[in-house]
Structure 1
Amino acid sequence: MRLLKLYLLVALFALPLVASAAGLSVVFQATPLFGEAQFMPGALVSRTVEVKNTDAVAHALYTRATSTLSGGLEEAIDFTITSDTSHFNGTLAEYYGSASVFLGTLAPNETKVYTFGATFRSSAADSYQGKTTKFDIEVGFEGGEVVTDTGGGTTGSTGGTTSGGSGGTFGVGGSGTGVEPRVLGDSIVADFVNDFADNIATVYNAGAKAVARVLGDEDIAETEGAATEALQESNEPTKTVTQALVDTHCQLWWLLGFVLMLAGRILIEYVRAQKESYKLIRSSTIVFAAFIATAFATVILLGFPCSFVTALTVGGIYVLLMSVE
């Protein structure tokens, strides 16, 4: 599974951020709200924001992204905002581009919890390597108080905001970032490991680890040996199916041959009966015995493996049938 690392470029404090403005109380689960040290492709990280209307009148609540730094990574991150309903579902880039996102109307003294979620797409390609994106999350009343997840906040009719520190940042390691190179190029690494496992299979021997040590550390040799075994095990189902088909065809051919042998025996008996004036009961007995033998062979031969034993069994039965007088 591909490992996609997100590197935190800002400090993440342990305690949630509680910010207040006149008539508005906002509790961010973390400050900044997002900042993950590691992220798996397709994994979801979510944070909550608790908002309370401390005013005596109802207010319409909005959110938007401010102080955005679009480094390209925002296109690969799916972003959602939910409470008792869905308020936003799109990419982080679309959240950046929204003038504001309506979060509903809060009645006087009403408190509501919102969940902000970010998912790094599992299909993220190497082109996102080394890219970053930065933003602040602003929550506030229409035309009134606003609070950001970096600790800033103002009051006033203009609805302006003052950021109180560094914003949340997503980053992907790559060339020039001081982290492991090609964190997204795992397909190249996988191809190399597979080729290397094929080559090392002829050298590695569990009973003679000294031989494997010429290739490097003993632990590495053991890992390569395990990779070889896994590769061999992956081929076993194909081999089993192929062998089963071969066995079935072989058994059917033996059965067809045996039926033809019985038909020949019946024909011989018929000719002899005509020539020597056999009684009807003798001919009927021979024919009945032939049918019984065919049914028996159908059950037995289809359970036999394709081997010398099968050939010997069919040949022996044929000799016995031909020797009956």
Structure 2
Amino acid sequence: MTEAPELNSTFWHPNFFLLTGIPGLRGAQAWLTLVFGPMYLLSLLGNGALLAMVQIETMLHQPMFLLLATLAATDLGLATSIAPGLLAVLWLGPQPVPYTTCLVQMFFVHALTAMESDVLLAVACDRAVAVGRPLHYPVLVTKARVGYGARALALKAVAIVVPSSLLVARFRHFRAKTIGHAYCAHMAVVELVVGDTQANNLYGLALSLAVSGVDILGITGSYGLIAHAVLRLPTREARAKAFGTCSSHICVILAFYVPGLFSYLTHRFGRHTVPKPTHIVLSKIYLLLPPALNSLIYGACTKQIRDQLLESFTFKKSYF
């Protein structure tokens, strides 16, 4: 166990941290707003439209679409917890953020990321039941159960992330106020701590395994059941239709987990080989790309949503 260094006048508890953006890319940071700005705009428009559509259209008041609405709400929260501050730092330069606000942002980023992963698992389970046991689906998966499940996932995300924030809040002395990041990333703050951070590192690793690791296993198992059910269908058309109901979800899973896994492996094992600016940019893409793409993917690949969008834009629906 590492002993905490002796405190002196150079160590203090800051009232605020200074977010500096992406070290090494100071001259190009403003140009990155052309990447992350449209991502955030797509997140707002796409997920907002999906939520409004599910709310307005009664035919979308079904368990699957309620799960998609939960995912859209999570995406909106995740993107909004990061993007405004990120864009301010990239466009205007280093920005101060109060210490308490930094901890709150850290909590919401991790809680909403955990929630997103859990909702993707829930959608995989929903599709497994729909494909594997279609006759029992209306009984097994109801709107009430989806509502209870969404609340349970939210409580779970909060419960597992709160200790992570408390482990940071317990420290009272830091080496510096400057964070070489564009938002209050957990490990970027922990690196400034004066004291033994072994518990933070271990809990961070356990949190990653408990969230992504367990959810990936659950999703893999669900799609194993789906593949087994699809292969038992008698005709190619039936197999294609069953696979089509899952194609959008597969794309969303890849958009979320592939950048996340690459970012995680880069942080854990590539610190000395991958430049820090690359790692920071990857972490932003991991958090902002899925919220920007999810609604577009579901809008393009889900027939009911696509049909509702076409009716809305072509005014085929009569309201009189």
Q: Which has the higher contact order (CA 8 A, sep 6+)?
A: 2
Greater strand share, structure number: 1
Larger radius of gyration: 1
Fold match by TM threshold 0.5: no
TM-score normalised by L of structure 1: 0.19
